[in-house]
Amino acid sequence: MAGTLELVAPGVYRVDAIGLKNIISVLLLENDDGWTLVDTGIASSVGRIEDAIASLGSGPEDLKRIFITHQHDDHAGGLKGLLEWAPGAEVGATAHEAEVISGGRGLDPPSNQFFRHMVRNAKPPGVPVGEILREGDIVSGFRIISTPGHTLGHVSMLRDEDGLLFTADAFGCLPRKIRVGVLKAFCNDPKEARRSAEKLLAEDFGTVVMSHGPVLHAGAKRTLREAVSRCRY
């Protein structure tokens, strides 16, 4: 089944990485030389992402870059499979996340004891990361913003020219309410996740894409501000 594509802004497509709308979203960013993929969904998302790229008239040779916002399986789980399909794609991440994704260190443990137990045997993709990026670096027109807390090296991305913000998991709507860090139990450091959310509110943005939840248009900043005000961690 082809991945659902939503044109969010010029050159920016949101792709449903599983068969349910707005549950796991990845981004395809158009460049002069091809496409940049932001996050990869889970392992079974590979076919949907390949179909989405094909529906845009492109193939594996056109996927030039894959940027991973953080290490969790619903963001990096499809990385290995996509590189088998598009071996020429360059992989980028922040230094800490790159170390985890490559298998150099274990996954950051969630703050919740039950979830720590549930993921105790989880393994990172074990894929080398070729490009290490830092806060302020630009990925296909988007500025990287360090937003730790969900994981230690988690980042969000902002296209300053039109105020399009991709929060990754700094905010998320799972299942129905928008929360800081998606859920407290998933965060490595919930208090740091809240500080990162407050940091994003200081940025100039008008449209918000989250990895989990619908795209926010009118009143997006107000909606995120309300999520921070409800946050009790």
Mean pLDDT of the chain: 96
Hey, what amino acid is at 168?
A
Q: What is the pLDDT of residue 145?
A: 98
Q: With a cut of 50, say whether residue 28 has pLDDT above it.
A: yes
User: What distance in Å separates the CA atoms of residue 143 and residue 8, rounded to the nearest whole number?
Assistant: 17
- Residue 108 makes CB contacts below 8 A (sequence gap 6+) with 71, 100, 151, 152, 188
Q: What sections of 95-209 are H helices per DSSP?
A: 95-101, 113-118, 190-201
180-195: pLDDT as tens digits = 999 999 999 999 999 9
Domain ranges of the chain: 5-230
Residues facing residue 30 across a β-bridge: 35
φ and ψ at 6, to 5 degrees? -130, 120
The answer to whether 181 touches 190, Cβ cutoff 8 Å, is yes
72-131: pLDDT as tens digits = 999 999 999 999 999 999 999 999 999 999 999 999 999 999 888 888 888 899 999 999
Exposure on the CB side of residue 155, measured as CA atoms within 13 A = 28
Task: Choose between 170 and 174: higher pLDDT.
Answer: 170
Confidence class for position 231, pLDDT limits 50, 70, 90: very high
Confidence class for position 2, pLDDT limits 50, 70, 90: very low
Q: With a cut of 60, say whether residue 162 has pLDDT above it.
A: yes
- pLDDT above 70 covers what percent of the chain? 99
User: What distance in Å separates the CA atoms of residue 91 and residue 229, rounded to the nearest whole number?
Assistant: 36
DSSP 109: P
Residues facing residue 155 across a β-bridge: 146
3-state class of 181 per DSSP?
coil
What tokens does 49 get? Answer: 């992402």
Tell me the pTM.
0.96
Confidence class for position 176, pLDDT limits 50, 70, 90: confident
Residues facing residue 133 across a β-bridge: 94
Element (DSSP H or E) covering residue 203: none
Helices 220-230, 190-201: inter-axial angle, 10-degree rounding: 150
Question: May I ask the CATH class of domain 5-230?
Answer: alpha beta
φ and ψ at 171, to 5 degrees? -135, 155
Q: What is the pLDDT of residue 1?
A: 42
What tokens does 23 get? Answer: 């549950």
Q: With a cut of 50, say whether residue 5 has pLDDT above it.
A: yes
The CA-atom distances, in angstroms, between 231 and each of 36, 61, 63, 171 are 33, 44, 38, 11
Residues facing residue 92 across a β-bridge: 67, 131
Q: What is the pLDDT of residue 100?
A: 98
Q: With a cut of 70, say whether residue 212 has pLDDT above it.
A: yes
